[in-house]
Amino acid sequence: MSSFGKPIALNDSDASLESRTVARISYVDENRLADPELRAYLDDARRFGTPRPETQSIRSHVPAVAKAFSRAWDAIFRNGIVEHSLKELCRVYVSQTIECNY
């Protein structure tokens, strides 16, 4: 199977849909993931639903990226001084504004 996904149109003026493709990024193989910190971040994502387990799995291909993102997420989203309900409202607002289905 090719490493490319389905064709997409980037905007109305783009060439035919048949000429455009996007790369598919695999999820990390958790059976090969030895770092307990990364495994814990993936477990938290599954348990809480945020950040999305799929995106955490993709980030885990580069451990430094997954750790930096997860530490920031914990500090800002799970902790911090702003009420969690307001943080969630902001997260949903941004998601809807950029038309993200996650």
The predicted-structure confidence for 47-98, as pLDDT tens digits, reads as follows 998 899 999 999 999 999 999 999 999 998 888 899 989 988 998 899 999 9
Residue 81 lies in a domain: yes
Q: Is the dihedral of CA 12, 18, 20, 26 positive or negative?
A: positive
Q: Per the domain annotation, does 1 fall within a domain? A: no
Q: Say whether pTM exceeds 0.85.
A: no
Range picked from 16-20, 21-25, 70-74 for highest mean pLDDT? 70-74
Phi, psi (rounded to 5 degrees) for 23: -70, 150
- Is residue 8 in a domain? no
Amino acid at 87: K
Count of domains forming the chain:
1
Task: Identify the domain containing residue 48 by its residue range.
Answer: 33-97
Mean pLDDT for the stretch of residues 2-23: 54
